[in-house]
A and B are shown apart, each in its own frame.
Chain A
Amino acid sequence: MDFPGFSLDTSLLEKAKEPEPEVTYDLLILGGGPAAMSAAVYAARKMMKLAIITKDFGGQVRETSEIENWLGFQSINAKDLVDSFEEHVKSFDIPVSLGPSITEVKREADAFKVQTDDIRIYSSRTLILATGKRHRPLNVQGEKELVGRGVAYCATCDAPFFKEKKVVVAGGGNSAFTTAVDLLKVGAEVILVNFIKGWQADEALQERVKQTGKASLLDNHQVIRIEGKDSVTTVVVKNRENEEEKKLDTDGVFVEIGLLPNNESVKNLVELNEQGEVIVDCSCRTSVEGLFGAGDVTTVPHKQIVIAAGEGAKAALSAYNYLINKSLI
């Protein structure tokens, strides 16, 4: 039977297979950034039975624009780079749980159990925790309520919305100043507010912001409230020396006060440092046998894409060696 113009699209059915709760995997990789994706490629090439559990692919790299320190490319678009990572991973036909969050990781007698918020529990003999970091919130009144309506955490994503507007940037480190640079590029008027006295950002970056003459710098001030009905209109700051409060009229607030490790699912299982990072040794081993860590969620210094990718590779090879030594593979 032929019906002109009639077609059936099945493209959505081509998505990756989902992991199966009844299978015990050799390795489950938790996370989807460069560390996790690199681990997946190495593990797949070792023919390990593996699956990935992640909310999305790309991690924090998706929040940046250009990468200028990935070997072999003087400059590469961040999205293009992680898209190519993702394509590489998908060429191995690895089952992926894409979307649900990990709620709990438990160690049982013969396997780790990983529970997700879609009420599934996956089993594996080894785990690689590569869940990365997320932006630290200010935790002040009005912040949660006005997210996406003036409160932002990603200059690459949101700076263009503040063209020629007034914006407060909370923070004093490199990421705060990089955000200020992005905002100044679109003609925004910037007020940097830093909790401590002075500024932590590199001198060169500070100079770049200061020389525009369009940025005001307010150190030793604490953001205490964000106000606005439909969108941000005011940020209330307090001088930490004399306790004086000041209202800053603004169209937006970019929060750049550091990152928090995504450790919630393992914080009762594995040893963490004071910053909440998972403690790993040079073979990516954690305090729990069979549980490996890689990338920004761990104590490895210098949070860089190339370092995360290297750590992911190491973690996969360490997990493989662990299974070989235990005669589990």
Chain B
Amino acid sequence: MITFIFFLRRIAFSFVTLIVASIVIFAIIQILPGDPAQLILGMNAQEDTLAALREQMGLNAPFYSRYFEWILGVMVGDFGTSYTYSVPVSELILERLWVSLPLAVMALSLSTLIAIPAGVIAASKHNKLPDVSIMGFTQLGIAIPNFWFAMLLVLVFAIKLQWMPAGGFAGWDVGIGAGILSLALPAIALALPQASILARIMRSALLDVLAEDYMRTARAKGLTERMTLWRHGVRNAFIPVLTILGLQFSFLIAGTIIIENIFYLPGLGRLIFQAIAQRDLIVLQGLVLLLVAAVIFINLLVDAAYAMVDPRIKRAYHE
């Protein structure tokens, strides 16, 4: 019951945040200089042609009526029609989500699979060879920019060995294997630096926990070293790790534009970039709103995970 009220409050708060965000986004985008009609029709367009297109795109209405038309549409899932592509914005975003979301999930899974064991091993073998070598590797992983690592991957696996394409996205309709193959190199390039950060967080959080009194108590009650480590150590060290995971996932959904460019993947990051360059304002505002919603939702999930990992947090909200 307490959990339920806790989440109801969080959801209501999130909704208000979204409304405020939508107003801010719409207002900022209105200030962007550049006439979308002129950008579509180019330098030779005549004045009457521009006026006809502006009318067609609904750009002549006052801004408040455009805002309400937009936000009421969004509430029923209608994000409007792209100025440049002339297809529904929701369709465009959905197409891109089918690239960006699997890529984010692949990168995050890969990074977690590497980072958690690496961090745990490093902490449990503190200052011994495994710890020193893992820390060395993570230092390297953080230092190497992911775009440079991406180009290295392309050079080795696509150009030299020709095992996989240098980029592009085959499409899920071609086959799940082809889709995963297209996303493999970008996912690795994204995962490496993130795994390095995550492993370091895991290690330091676990080292803190290992020094706690309850760890000694756990050992004293007769648990093996391994059981102590996983049941009492790792679980309690998870809070900072979850925070970082949440941040990393939010970043992965739309912040991967450089990696998307290197692998010419049709993801959300490139769609945002393109929408800005072409003044496809309706796509831009829909996308940004969706990303705000995604970040809010991920934070909600992270909060829920906190509460699951550490019941004290849930209680703290009510005291």
Q: Do A and B make up one complex?
A: no
- Chain B: residues with CB nearer than 8 A to chain A? none
